Structure 1
Amino acid sequence: MSQNFENKKVVVEGIKEKFAAAKSAVLVDYRGLTVEEVTELRSQFRAAGVEYKIYKNNLVKLAIKDTQFESLTNDLTGPNAIAFGMEDAVVPAKIIKEFAKNHKNLELKSGVVEGDYCDFDQMIQIAELPSKEVLIGRFLGSVKAPVSNFAYFLSNLIKEKEGASA
C-alpha cells in the first residue's frame, strides 16, 4: 500500500477518536471568515473546552461510518468545520450562535447532540437553552419556594398565637 493511503488511515483513526470522545459535534460553514475572526472563534472555543477542527469531508465520512454521528454524512458538503463539545454538549451551539450574530459569514449547519441528529432549527433551539447551572438554580428555587412559604406561614401563625395569648 502507498504511504499516502497509510497516512489517511492514521488521520481517519484520529478523527474517529475525536468523535468517540465528544458529547456533541456541530457542523459550521466558515467560508468568508477572516483569519482574525477564526482566531477569535477558536479562542472562545478553547476557553469553553470545545475543540474546533477542519477535516476533509471524505475522511470524516469514513470516520463516522457506523457511529452515532453517521447522520451528519449528508451535511458534509462544501467547506466545513466541526466544533466538538467534549465537556458540555450544548456549549458549541451556544458559542456559534452568539458568534454568528456579529459575523454573518459563519453559518451553523447541523449537529449531533448526545447521539441525536439536529438540523439547523433544532440546533438554534438547543443554543437558546439556559445553561445547566441556571436550570439547576431554577429547579432548586422551585423546590425551596413551597418550603419557605410554609415556614413563613408557621412563623406568622406562632406570632399570632403568642399575640392573642398576651
Structure 2
Amino acid sequence: MARPDKAAAVAEIKETLENSHAAVLTEYRGLTVAQLKELRVKLGETATYAVVKNTLTEIAAKEAGIDAFEGQLSGPTAIAFVQGEPVEAAKVLRDFAKANSQLVIKGGYLDGAALTAEEITKLADLESREVLLAKAAGAMKGSLSKAAALFAAPASQAVRTVEALRVKQEEAA
C-alpha cells in the first residue's frame, strides 16, 4: 500500500473514532464472511463493524487521543464503532459472541475511558435507556402521588372532623 493510502486510512479511522460514542475491539478469527455480515446486520444503525489494520488503528487512536487500545491490537482485529446506544451495541456483540465462540471481545472505550471485556459484558447487562427512563418516570410519578396524598390528608381530616362534630350536634339537639 502506498504511503498516501495509509495516511488516508489513518485519517478515516481517526475520524470514525472521534465521531463514535464508543468502540468495541474484537478478534474475529474463524468467523466466515456470512457470519460477519450477520453481525453487521444485527448491529444495524447502532454501530458499524469494520475490519481494521492493527498498526494503522494504533496510529489513528493515538492521534485521536485514545489510549484504550494499547497492547490489544494483535491478530485479526475488527472494531464496532458505536454511534447509537452503547448498551444496545454491547448486547448485540455479547449475544453474538455467545452464539459464535470465534468472536472474542478484547476491550474498548466509552466516552474516552478504557473498558475491559468484563466491563463491556456488564454494560451489555444494563437495561436499555428507554427502560431506565421509564422506571425513573414511574418512580417519580409514585413519589408525586404520595406527596399529593400527604398534602391533601390534613384538609380531608379536618373536613371529616367538622362533619363528625356537626352530626354530633344534630343528635344532641
Task: Output the TM-score relative to the length of structure 2.
Answer: 0.82
Does structure 2 retain, via aligned residues, the 8 Å contact 1:52–1:83?
Answer: yes
Deviates more, 1:20-29 or 1:140-149: 140-149
Instruction: Select 2:109's aligned residue among 87, 112, 117.
Output: 112
What residue is the counterpart of 2:14 in the other structure? Answer: 16
Report how far residue 35 of structure 1 moved. 2.3
Cα RMSD (Å) of the superposition?
2.4
Return the alpha-carbon distance in structure 1 between the equivalents of residues 97 and 125 of structure 2.
Answer: 13
Does structure 1 retain, via aligned residues, the 8 Å contact 2:61–2:67?
Answer: yes
* Superposition map of 1:39-78 within 5 A: 39-45=37-43, 47-78=44-75
Describe the shift of the 1:145–1:49 C-alpha distance in structure 2 as closer, same or farther (beyond 3 A).
same
Instruction: Select 1:138's aligned residue among 113, 135, 155.
Output: 135
Return the alpha-carbon distance in structure 2 between the equivalents of residues 8 and 67 of structure 1.
Answer: 16
Instruction: Select 1:128's aligned residue among 125, 129, 137.
Output: 125
Does structure 2 retain, via aligned residues, the 8 Å contact 1:111–1:117?
Answer: yes
Report how far residue 113 of structure 1 moved. 0.6
What residue is the counterpart of 1:26 in the other structure? Answer: 24
Does structure 2 retain, via aligned residues, the 8 Å contact 1:111–1:119?
Answer: yes
SS of match in other structure, 1:54: strand
Deviates more, 1:108-117 or 1:139-148: 139-148
Return the alpha-carbon distance in structure 1 between the equivalents of residues 65 and 7 of structure 2.
Answer: 20
Report how far residue 25 of structure 1 moved. 0.7
Does structure 1 retain, via aligned residues, the 8 Å contact 2:94–2:124?
Answer: yes
Return the alpha-carbon distance in structure 1 between the equivalents of residues 65 and 86 of structure 2.
Answer: 14
Does structure 1 retain, via aligned residues, the 8 Å contact 2:14–2:64?
Answer: no
Deviates more, 1:35-44 or 1:83-92: 83-92
* Gap runs ≥5 in structure 2: 168-173
How many residues matched? 163
Deviates more, 1:84-93 or 1:57-66: 84-93
Report how far residue 37 of structure 1 moved. 1.6
Greater CA radius of gyration, 1 or 2?
2
SS of match in other structure, 1:72: coil
Report how far residue 151 of structure 1 moved. 3.9
Report how far residue 29 of structure 1 moved. 1.0
Task: Output the TM-score relative to the length of structure 1.
Answer: 0.86
Does structure 2 retain, via aligned residues, the 8 Å contact 1:29–1:108?
Answer: yes
Query: In the TM superposition, what whole-angstrom CA distance separates every residue of 1:33-88 from its partner, at most 9, and x where no partner exists?
Result: 2222211111011x233111111100101111143422202100111110011122
Report how far residue 164 of structure 1 moved. 8.5
Report how far residue 11 of structure 1 moved. 0.9
